[in-house]
Amino acid sequence: MKIPSFEKCSALFAIALFAGLLSVRANAIYTGSISGTFSNPVLQGTVVDPLTGNLTFLNNTTTAVYTGFGTNAITWGAPNPISGPSSLTFTGHSFSGIAPGQIFDLGTVTYFNGNNFNDGFIFGATLTLAVNSTIGGSVDPSVSTLAFRSTINHPPAQPPATDAQNADFVRFSAFPLTFNIFEGHTASAELFGEIVGDPQLVLTGIELSPGQSNNGFVGHGVPGLVPESGSTLALMAVGFAALTAFGISRRTARIA
C-alpha cells in the first residue's frame, strides 16, 4: 500500500480543517449584546443661508460645540435660549439565538432636534457598533459614517414645527434611508443589521420606533417642499446631489 507523503497529508488536513471551520461558522448561533460608540466629529460642511438661500461653506474647527465623543451619546451646537443643543444617543439591545444572515434589532437611536447657531454645528460623526457575544465567538464591529443635516428653522406658526421641512436628519453611510426629526422634538428609531462574512456585523436598515409618528419619520433626507423661497429650494440639494429623487415616503422601511 502506498503511503501518502507528508506534504499531501498536511494539505488534506488543512483542507478538512478549513471546511470544518466554514461549517462551524455557517452554523454558528450568536447570543450577546450590542454597544455603540461615537467618534470623529466632522467640523466642516455646507449650510444654506436662511436669508439669501445661497450655499455657505462653514469651517467650524474653532467654533464647533460638541460633547460625548468616545461614548454612546453626543450633543452638538451652541444652544440659543429656545432650546438646548441637538443630541444623538445609541442604546444597544441584547440578542439571543441569531444565525448568520438573520436580520435583527441592534439598538435604538434617539435624536433631539435642538435649535442651534450655525457656527456651533458639527456636520457628522462615526458610529461603531460592537458585538459583545457570549455565545458564537467574536464578530468584527460595524463602522458607519453619519451625516447630520440641520434644516432652516422656520417660525413655529409658518409652517408648524411638525411640518416635514422643519425636520433635521441623520444619514447613515450603510444605507440610503435617513432618520428625520421635527424641530424641537425627540424621536427614536431602530437600527437593524446582520452578521455575515468572516464574520462581521453590518447595518441593513432603519425604521421608526413604535409611537414616534408625531415626532419624526424615516425617508430619504429633506422632503419635497412646495415652492416658497429660494432658500427652501436650495436646501433640498445640499449635501445630497447624488440622490436622484428627494420625495419622501412617510412609511417606515427595513432594508434587507
Find all residues with CB under 8 Å of 237, minimum gap 6, and list them.
none
pLDDT tens-digit series, residues 36-93: 999 999 999 877 665 665 677 899 999 999 999 999 999 998 766 667 799 999 999 9
How much is the pLDDT for 47? 73
Flag whether 16 is in a domain: no
Mean pLDDT, the chain, as a whole number? 77
Flag whether 129 is in a domain: yes
Q: Tell me the H-state helices in 6-80.
A: 6-26
Flag whether 249 is in a domain: no
Instruction: Give φ, ψ of 7 to 5 degrees.
Output: -65, -40
* Domains of the chain: total: 1
The DSSP secondary structure of 116-129, one letter per residue, reads: B-GGG---EEEEEE
Reported in sequence order, the residue ranges of 175-251 that DSSP labels E, i.e. its strands, are: 178-181, 186-196, 200-208, 216-219
Between CA 106 and CA 174 the distance in angstroms is 14
Between CA 60 and CA 202 the distance in angstroms is 31
What Rg, from alpha-carbon coordinates, does the chain have? 23
pLDDT tens-digit series, residues 127-148: 999 999 999 999 999 999 999 9
pLDDT tens-digit series, residues 214-254: 788 998 875 433 333 333 333 333 333 333 333 333 333 34
| Distances, alpha carbon 37 to alpha carbons 80, 141, 142, in Å | 27, 11, 11
pLDDT at 19 over 60: no
Number of other residues whose CB lies within 10 A of the CB of residue 49: 14
How much is the pLDDT for 195? 98
Between CA 222 and CA 235 the distance in angstroms is 8
- Count how many Cα atoms sit within 13 Å of the Cα of residue 100 in the half-sphere of its side chain: 17
Flag whether 141 is in a domain: yes
Flag whether 245 is in a domain: no
Instruction: Give φ, ψ of 158 to 5 degrees.
Output: -150, 95
| Residue 188 binned pLDDT confidence (cut-offs 50, 70, 90) | very high
Cβ atoms of 228 and 193 closer than 8 Å:
no
How much is the pLDDT for 18? 43
Range of the domain at 224: 30-235
Instruction: Select the more confidently predicted residue: 122 or 15.
Output: 122
Flag whether 17 is in a domain: no
Between CA 144 and CA 147 the distance in angstroms is 10
Question: Per the structure block, which three cell numbers stand in for 108?
Answer: 435604538
User: What is the pLDDT averaged over residues 154-168?
Assistant: 60
* Diameter of the chain measured on Cα atoms: 93
Give CA angle at 234 (74, 218), nearest 5°.
45
Flag whether 231 is in a domain: yes
| Residue 149 binned pLDDT confidence (cut-offs 50, 70, 90) | confident
pLDDT tens-digit series, residues 230-241: 333 333 333 333
Flag whether 7 is in a domain: no
Between CA 161 and CA 36 the distance in angstroms is 30
Question: Per the structure block, which three cell numbers stand in for 91?
Answer: 442604546
Q: Which of 94-103, 105-114, 175-184, 246-255 has the lowest mean pLDDT?
A: 246-255
